[in-house]
Homo-oligomer: A and B are copies of this chain.
Amino acid sequence: MTTLQDIADRMGISKGTVSKALNGAPDISETLQKNVLETAVEMGYTKLRRQKADAKKLCILTENIEYEEPHQFGYDITLGFRQMAEPAGYTVEIVQAEEKLQKHTPYDVFMLRNNYLGAFVLGFSLNDPWMKDFHTSRTPTVLYDNYISANPNIAYVGVDNNEGMELAVSHLKLLGHKKIGYLSGALGSHVMQVRHKAFFQALRQNGLQSDPTYAGSSYYITECLEKHLPRLLAMGVTAIICSHDLIANTVMIQCQQLGYHVPRDLSIIGFDDLPICAYTSPPLTTIRQERIELGKSGYYALDSLMNKVSIGTLLLHAQLVVRNSTGPRAANSREYGSLQGK
């Protein structure tokens, strides 16, 4: 165990100065405070003010995810986490981890300085600066939908995307569909990469033709549709799975404008089961992420990391929610290519 004295010895300053710096005393310069904190983190010092009664603090770090309102994706996730953490005696603070903060302050320093024992991280993309820090971080941290290999302090929590994609494809296969397309958001996030791969795996598992041309991805939904939807329709797909519900909803609207009936001409499946899915036209068949449970699992995993049970991956079962956007493949499946050209 690293002590204040160890840090003092390493830096060649007094133990009292180390203590003051760690506690943010105003007579210690900001530069020295920063150096002491970074040295403390580097040496594995973790006890900062934690003996105090008010010190049982966890944080939820958010980026690119909305959580303030009940209809937003992150709302139930943060709620589920707090439903477990608060009765266990933790205070939970939600912090926006903006890129500026991430660039300016190493992750472990941020956590130590704010006296957080652990974090639940939502919405990070692969190029968020702290994603690098997580490889070597010593702070118990649970990432929603991001995976870091071989660091015993970091866990990945999410829904089982392979299972979800398998449920979607086998549902379509049972309805007689054989040519299934896939439209995806940009592959710059872990979860989009995983779902993309899972789509092709599910095709193979169901004995369907698996060809890269059946899939298309773009950052912007409109671009994705313009670029890839006409191509898929011309190829004669009778069903399209989308990497998330908002793409699926836009695809339905666009296809209806092109004269396709959903699901008679074309079946559509989304992913996530956003609250909107019950209200789209037609209501959207989708793969549900149980968001309250995701939040609870995030706490489960974090609690176990803090207790030295080194969970690496925790996946929830996916569920297929069948609504009205999927149906049997038309007996005399239309020639979509020619329909589209009319």
Contact = CB atoms under 8 A, between A and B. Distances in A.
Interface in A289-342: 290, 293, 296-297, 300, 304, 307-319
A319 B290 CA distance: 31
Contact of A312 (B150, B296, B310, B316): B316
Contacts of A290: 310
A250 interface: no
Given A313-B314, A313-B315, 15 more contacts: A149-B166, A150-B163, A150-B166, A150-B167, A151-B317, A152-B317, A152-B319, A160-B313, A163-B312, A296-B307, A297-B304, A297-B311, A310-B316, A310-B317, A313-B313
Nearest to A170: B150
A156 to B, nearest CB: 9
Nearest to A156: B315
A139 to B, nearest CB: 15
A81 to B, nearest CB: 12
User: What are the 9 A-B residue pairs with the smallest beta carbon separation, nearest first?
Assistant: A312-B317, A313-B315, A310-B317, A293-B309, A160-B312, A152-B317, A296-B309, A314-B314, A312-B315
Contacts of A150: 163, 166-167, 317-318
